[in-house]
């Protein structure tokens, strides 16, 4: 399927967009010219600045930590906050360096698969598959490594407003055979992809609004897109929940298979949209609680649920 995330509805190519793109390219040039060790040191320094000196999204971080980990004291929250900023910054460096450092001859030096046989059996098979992850670990490089093996996948994304940066990011992501569909109006294209045995990769922890499927995530109600569960239930495509977690060094990862929901092996979690949505959230939650510093606490995952749901939860 051809790349189709270039729906340029809200994109602009103004001089200010070009300047922002130029700054990004200069930053990437510096990252690619530096060693990973140097990038790591710079990321640690910037993480300290963002934690202790520059209050970037500090209110949201405090709210999320208070909601999910009320037992943490101020010292623990500061430690995880600093580690999270380090992770996010280092993730950007890894993305910039991966095409030059990781190839088919040395990928095993950078990625370790927890269940390689089961994972490859599904993504190399003729059946369609729905690959689910979240804003956790280096999810971008999970798509990169599967593309390196020649496994084409398609994901759904909202086009970036800056057209220059959008085109650049799409060119990087498509290097490994990843294809993209615009977030709006792509339902029929997704169904066609799955009918043809394609592989669909999606981030599961994005807020779906008041009409989404509300289930508990990390102990609190969160709105999830119903489409993820519907794609599996309507097409018979196995759903695989995966994570790509950094180990003790930059560009060293454990690519973990957290769970498989296969309609050919029915269970209670495949009963309906709600049960399947609850299941994949539980899979992600377990991994996040093991390594909380690699989760994107900077995004607003938990919103106020509709009054009817709030009363029911109470």
> Alpha-carbon distance 137 to 134, whole Å?
8
Q: Using alpha carbons only, how large is the chain's radius of gyration in Å?
A: 20
What is the Cβ-side half-sphere exposure of residue 307, based on CA atoms within 13 angstroms? 0
Of 223, 207, 204, the closest CA to residue 215 belongs to 223
Total number of residues shown for the chain: 314
Q: Alpha-carbon distance 13 to 20, whole Å?
A: 11
Are the CB atoms for 254 and 247 separated by under 8 Å?
A: yes
DSSP the chain: ---B----TT-B--HHHHHHHHHHHHHHHHHHHS-HHHHHHHHHHHHHHHHHTS-TTHHHHHHHHHHH-TT--HHHHHHHHHHHHHHHHHHHHHHHHHHHH--TTTGGGTEEESSHHHHHHHHTSSS-EEEEE-SBSSHHHHHHHHHHTT--EEEEEPPPSBHHHHHHHHHHHGGGTEEEEESTT-HHHHHHHHHTT-EEEEE--S---TTSEEEEETTEEEEE-HHHHHHHHHH-PPEEEEEEEE-SSTT-EEEEEEEEE-TTS--GGGSSHHHHHHHHHHHHHHHHHHSGGGB-TTS----PPPHHHHHHH-
Q: Identify the CA nearest to 217 among candidates 297, 280, 268, 275.
A: 280
Q: For the segment 254-309, what is each residue's pLDDT rounded down to a tens digit?
A: 999 999 999 999 899 999 999 999 999 999 999 999 999 999 999 999 999 888 77
What pLDDT is attached to residue 6? 44
pLDDT band, very low/low/confident/very high, at 2 (cuts 50, 70, 90)? very low
Q: Look at the block and give the residue holding tokens 């994304």.
A: 157
The residue that leads in pLDDT, 191 or 157, is: 191
User: CATH: 3.40.1130, 3.15.10, 3.30.200, 3.40.462. Which one for 15-313?
Assistant: 3.40.1130
Tens of pLDDT, residues 198-207: 999 999 999 9
Whether the pLDDT of residue 175 is over 90: the answer is no
The mean predicted confidence, pLDDT, of the chain is 91
More confident residue, 154 or 88: 88
- Predicted pLDDT of residue 176: 65
Residue 114: closest CA among 260, 249, 238, 236: 260
pLDDT of residue 311: 57
Give me the pLDDT at residue 3, please.
44
Per-residue pLDDT, 5: 46
Q: Is the pLDDT of residue 66 over 70?
A: yes
């Amino acid at each position: 399927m051809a790349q189709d995330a270039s729906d340029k509805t809200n994109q602009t190519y103004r001089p200010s967009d070009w300047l922002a793109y130029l700054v990004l390219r200069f930053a990437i040039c510096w990252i690619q010219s530096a060693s990973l060790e140097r990038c790591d040191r710079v990321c640690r320094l910037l993480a300290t600045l963002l934690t202790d000196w520059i209050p970037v999204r500090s209110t949201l971080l405090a709210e999320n930590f208070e909601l999910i980990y009320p037992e943490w004291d101020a010292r623990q929250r500061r430690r995880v906050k600093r580690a999270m900023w380090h992770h996010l910054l280092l993730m950007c460096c890894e993305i910039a360096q991966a095409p030059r450092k990781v190839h088919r001859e040395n990928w095993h030096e950078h990625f370790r698969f927890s269940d390689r046989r089961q994972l490859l059996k599904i993504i190399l098979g003729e059946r369609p598959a729905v690959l689910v992850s979240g804003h956790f670990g280096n999810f971008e490089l999970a798509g990169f490594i599967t593309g390196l093996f020649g496994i084409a996948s398609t994901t759904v994304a909202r086009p970036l407003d800056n057209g220059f940066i959008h085109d650049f990011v799409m060119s990087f992501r498509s290097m490994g055979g990843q294809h993209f569909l615009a977030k709006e109006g792509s339902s029929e294209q997704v169904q066609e992809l799955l009918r043809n045995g394609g592989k669909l990769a999606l981030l599961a922890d994005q807020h779906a609004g008041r009409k989404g499927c509300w289930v508990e995530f990390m102990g609190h109600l969160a709105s999830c897109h119903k489409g993820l569960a519907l794609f599996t239930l309507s097409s018979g495509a196995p759903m695989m929940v995966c994570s790509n977690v950094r180990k003790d060094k930059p560009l060293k990862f454990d690519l973990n298979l957290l769970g498989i929901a296969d309609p050919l092996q029915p269970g209670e979690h495949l009963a309906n949209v709600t049960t399947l949505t609850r299941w994949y959230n539980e899979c992600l939650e377990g991994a996040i609680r093991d390594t909380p510093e690699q989760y994107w606490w900077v995004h607003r995952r938990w919103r106020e649920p509709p009054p009817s749901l709030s009363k029911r939860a109470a």
